[in-house]
Structure 1
Amino acid sequence: MIPQPPKPQRICWTPAEAVRFLAHCAAVNDPLTELFEVLIGTGMRKGEALALHWADVHLDDRVLYVRYTLSNVNNTTPVFTAPKTKTSQDWIGLSCRVTQALQRQATRQHSQQLAAGSRWRDYGLVFTRANGQPLRPEYVLHRLHDLSTAAGVPRIRVHDLRHLAATLMIASNVPLGVISKTMRHSTLSVTVNIYGHLARHTAHQAVDAIATTLNTTQTQAA
């Protein structure tokens, strides 16, 4: 049997690199600053974030609903389709940081709409070009690369921001089951297959919990 080539090693920012990147975006007031905050802070897929509608954002309740994904954009018309899997179409909780980013985006978009005037095309989207049209995925990637270089952090793919969100949760000892739900994976095994190697500490936590319970019971019985 011919051995399969090894899977490519994912490049993932450290927390310090993520903070440096986001701080640079904010310092230069880049129009995609809030998009990157949301991608990192929720683990949403790129197409899901680009297809996010304000009608599906509930800031008071700190949740949003993933209803669409932007699969392609031609010269004039956005193409919205169902998300990747049935479990992808679900509610996502929002941290205070992400909620604030979305509030800033609403303010930014209002200014863009006023500047665009009659050229504004209202699709009801959260993240758009300066005239309201959907963002092009390739533009988001190019902007991510340019901002990464300027911030002095490694160049990564937009999808790697989703992996960054998962690794940050793992580093904070969030249980894999909760991470799987947050990432909206179809099954827990998908999460384990992708991130299990990063969560070896959970195995020690599990057996340590058994030992702690037995030791405590043994001490109480003595």
Structure 2
Amino acid sequence: MISQQIQQHRGHLTACPPKTASSARVIALDRTTVSALRAHRRLQRIEQEQAGGGYRDSGYVFTHTNGDPLAPDRLSCTFRALIAEHGLPPIRLHDLRHGAATLALAAGVELKVVQDMLGHSSIVLTADTYTSVLPEVAHRAAEKTAAHVMKARGVVPGTSRIRRRASGRKKRRRSKMAALRPGASSAHPARQIGRPQRR
């Protein structure tokens, strides 16, 4: 649950409310992330035992070895050092937020869900930010919809019964009508668009 943020003010760290009302939110975590956080918590408990009475359990995820929370700038510096150490492309810590949203959209997560995940006040902001990903998502959605329609094309709507094929007599009647009136629709006259009005 995101309920506050840490800011550095005059050399001191201060807990402040989130930036906007929509920034305060609950985020669902997957099992892998929860497992990683629990492993990190176990390491913090080891640090607590080693520090003895000088440890302050602040409750934060990113802390010094004495338990005090890390300043945002210090965390960014640590992240840059890890990026350089492992030879990864230079990205900011904040870019991980964009990466998570991009991966979620690419995985087929709905735009509204990603909006809530990011804490955007408007879905338009989310759509504008991730326009490069959305065409791919829209294309996949179109393919899924088409596959669903093709799968259900032989089923009677509202049931699981297979639709019977047209009898030979109906097929012959349709082909005869099409032959008599070239270019005319074989549909019932009442269903034809632009049919002559009765007077």
Q: Normalization by structure 2: what TM-score?
A: 0.68
Partner AA of 1:96 in structure 2? R
Q: Does 1:89 align with 2:24?
A: yes
Q: Does 1:72 align with 2:21?
A: no
Rounded Cα–Cα distance in structure 2 between residues aligned with 1:116 and 1:205: 53
| Structure 2 CA distance for partners of 1:216 and 1:168, relative to 1, 3 Å | closer
Rounded Cα–Cα distance in structure 1 between residues aligned with 2:104 and 2:134: 10
| Structure 2 CA distance for partners of 1:212 and 1:79, relative to 1, 3 Å | same
Instruction: Please say if residues 73 and 136 of structure 1, whose CA atoms lie closer than 8 Å, have aligned partners that are also in contact.
Output: no
Rounded Cα–Cα distance in structure 2 between residues aligned with 1:114 and 1:217: 62
1:217 Cα shift? 7.2
Higher helix share: 1
Q: What corresponds to 1:204 in structure 2?
A: 139
| Structure 2 CA distance for partners of 1:115 and 1:212, relative to 1, 3 Å | closer
Structure 2 segments unaligned to the other structure (5+ residues): 156-162, 167-199
Q: What corresponds to 1:193 in structure 2?
A: 128
Rounded Cα–Cα distance in structure 2 between residues aligned with 1:182 and 1:95: 13
DSSP-derived class of the 1:148 partner:
helix
DSSP-derived class of the 1:91 partner:
coil
Percent identical among aligned pairs is 32
Q: What corresponds to 2:179 in structure 1?
A: none
1:211 Cα shift? 5.2
DSSP-derived class of the 1:114 partner:
helix
> What is the alpha-carbon root mean square deviation over aligned residues?
2.4
DSSP-derived class of the 1:197 partner:
coil
Q: Give the structure with higher Rg (CA).
A: 2
DSSP-derived class of the 2:27 partner:
strand
DSSP-derived class of the 2:84 partner:
helix
Partner AA of 2:3 in structure 1? R
Structure 1 segments unaligned to the other structure (5+ residues): 1-64
The aligned runs of 1:69-148 (5 Å cut-off) are 69-72=5-8, 74-75=10-11, 77-148=12-83
Q: What corresponds to 2:159 in structure 1?
A: none
Rounded Cα–Cα distance in structure 2 between residues aligned with 1:103 and 1:213: 41
Rounded Cα–Cα distance in structure 2 between residues aligned with 1:106 and 1:217: 50
Structure with greater contact order relative to length (CA < 8 Å, sep ≥ 6): 1
Give the number of equivalent residue pairs.
157
